[in-house]
Structure 1
């Protein structure tokens, strides 16, 4: 599809904004919140001893989502979800930083496949693991599916918000059984879709796709995020507070000419502390969707990289292909 130049730039801002936030937050993961005046840099380190500018599991898992969707002509089908499960399982074997919920589900899926005489897990294995772990622990609402949802918005850019929401929710369920994770992914994906097409930041645009009682719950949560700072959501390993912390960073960071910009937003997300790479990746995907590739500093474009041996240019290419 032929998009205007400004929309094309915003298309390229989604995954690059996500990766930039991810890499910026990598070196501060699980640290305490920082003062508003604290400088934040691409220092590397963190849980995976990442190189400066190296993204973490957030972007790596999102790349697999993107590649799976590209292999199925931009739509979520059985082949695409099988690809995601299979490639996540391969990646997780040697990945330095994998979320506990995700690792548990992928290990279950691989074990199930092996017990059945298969070498690779599939969608059914992952869904079974996601549900079983939730039933056993009552906890599957981590932020690990929200962090990787950005490519879905690009793949469904020309589709309806409902289609984008449903695809994001279904991909979330592969590892995170909790309905709140699915709702968060759907809302964030629709907001990215809207931001790319219009340049507007409207996290409420997808509320009409929820049942009224759930829309009311999320409206309250969004309102809370707009009146507090990212550091106020210290339980941001939970998908709800990760969502709130990311939206808080977008709405409370220093603006330029009345408009939020990428660098202040992802810096604010990192200063919020705790799961810094994930919150900054989530925030970066949405603010990047509204402000475009031009808002990513050239220095970051040159230095940001990560698994699987990719740099920003490859994310640009993937984004163009997804939205094509």
Structure 2
């Protein structure tokens, strides 16, 4: 079902599409977060709506977008710096920096605990939980700017190291770090104008190669089995009933990639993601980010962009980020 990747799109369109796609997928999902699939199917999301779960106006985005914007701001202002990313997370959580309406209304337990540790003086790479039960999607949801930046500026081994470190600020278990790494390699391949199926093959080969060749990543190598369906199976052949849209990092990445594989455009992809139910804002954000990179900024409905909270601020930040990326090439 996947359409041809428009290979004439500039990096600017793909990157801006990814950033806005993440925010829009997040905002579409916020009003229906935690609603089960059976219920949402009876009254599916068809566009921007408000209130619902978090009682927020239409176009409101959540922690997913706020934390992604923290990374975006960090790499734009000072380059790649884990300590700075972490302190911007603290500023978001404690001061409502880069929020839709100047208030924090949604945060995961593991994320809150890690940021509290950083605020108390922990080093960022010591703050995230390494417990197997702390493999929520709280680092994957925000990872797109890190993935794009490292895809453009780093070699493969450095990409793995830095994307994994960015995850570890809040989610340090190797399964969570690997999910962000796979996501980053997929984005790197999509930025090359590859079709989704070819991008997945390329991402799988690059992940395997780096994890095989570098002993420092042996803990992530042992987690590859959990991502088998994404990297090696024909995921596009799965029925929607086989796709889980929970807050577990593996489920979220699998659901987002399935939506991308089984859709023919941006709008179909993000609505399909949100209408899976449950962790709608994050599945929507991850799917929307990938879809925006694949189909470009121009594929996003203008009325959705205009409804998005602080869309002018997001646009300005995206343009500045693109400028940094263009200068680095």
TM-score (norm 1): 0.81
Q: Distance in 2 between matches of 1:231 and 1:15?
A: 29
Question: Kindly tell me: are residues 221 and 317 of structure 1, through their superposed partners in 2, closer, same or farther at Cα, counting changes over 3 Å?
Answer: closer
In 2, distance between residues paired with 1:67 and 1:323?
13
Counterpart of 1:83?
Answer: 87
Residue aligned with 1:210, SS: helix
Moved more, 273-282 or 232-241: 232-241
Alignment of structure 1 residues 14-29 onto 2, 5 Å = 14-29=18-33
Pick aligned residue for 1:218 from 224, 227, 239: 227
Q: Secondary structure at the match of 1:175?
A: coil
Tell me the distance in 2 between the aligned counterparts of 1:53 and 1:271: 17
Pairing partner for 2:281 from 273, 277, 280: 277
1:109 aligned to which of 78, 100, 118 = 118
Aligned to 1:323: 325
Per the alignment, residue 154 of structure 1 pairs with: 148
Q: Which residue of 1 aligns with 2:100?
A: none
Q: Which residue of 1 aligns with 2:253?
A: 243
Residue equivalent to 1:140: 134
Structure 2 residue aligned with 1:119: none
- Segments of 5+ residues of structure 1 without an aligned counterpart are 114-121, 256-260
Quote the Cα distance in structure 2 between the aligned partners of 1:18 and 1:43. 16
- Aligned ranges 1:185-200 → 2 under 5 Å: 185-200=180-195
CA deviation after TM superposition for structure 1 residue 39, in Å: 4.4
User: Which SS does the other structure have where 1:40 is aligned?
Assistant: coil
Hey, what's the Cα distance between the residues in 1 that align with 2:154 and 2:42?
39
Between the aligned partners of 1:22 and 1:231, the Cα distance in structure 2 is 22
Alignment root-mean-square deviation, CA: 2.7
Do the aligned partners of residues 273 and 315 (structure 1) sit closer, same or farther apart at CA in structure 2, a change above 3 Å counting? farther
Query: Hey, what does 1:116 align to over in structure 2?
Result: none
The runs of at least 4 aligned residues of structure 1 exceeding 6 Å deviation read none
2:227 and 2:250 in contact (8 A); partners too = no
Alpha-carbon deviations, 1:154-182, whole Å to 9, x = none?
32214323333322111100001211110
Please list the CA deviations of residues 43-95 of structure 1 after superposition, one character each: whole Å capped at 9, or x if unmatched: 1224432210111110110000111112323x2x3553443444344346951
Aligned equivalents of 2:110 and 2:46: distance in 1?
28
In the alignment, the residues of structure 2 paired with residue 80 and residue 230 of structure 1 have an alpha-carbon distance, to the nearest angstrom, of 40
TM-score (norm: length of structure 2):
0.80
Query: What is the CA-CA distance between 1:42 and the residue it aligns to?
Result: 1.0
Which region of structure 1 is more displaced relative to structure 2, 155-164 or 99-108?
A: 155-164
Match of 1:183 among 169, 178, 185: 178
Matching residue of 2:69: 63
Partner secondary structure for residue 29 of structure 2? helix
- Alpha-carbon contact 1:30-1:274 (below 8 Å) kept: yes
Match of 2:107 among 98, 103, 108: 98
In the aligned structure 2, how far is the partner of 1:228 from the partner of 1:53? Answer: 31
CA distance in 2, matches of 1:35, 1:224: 25
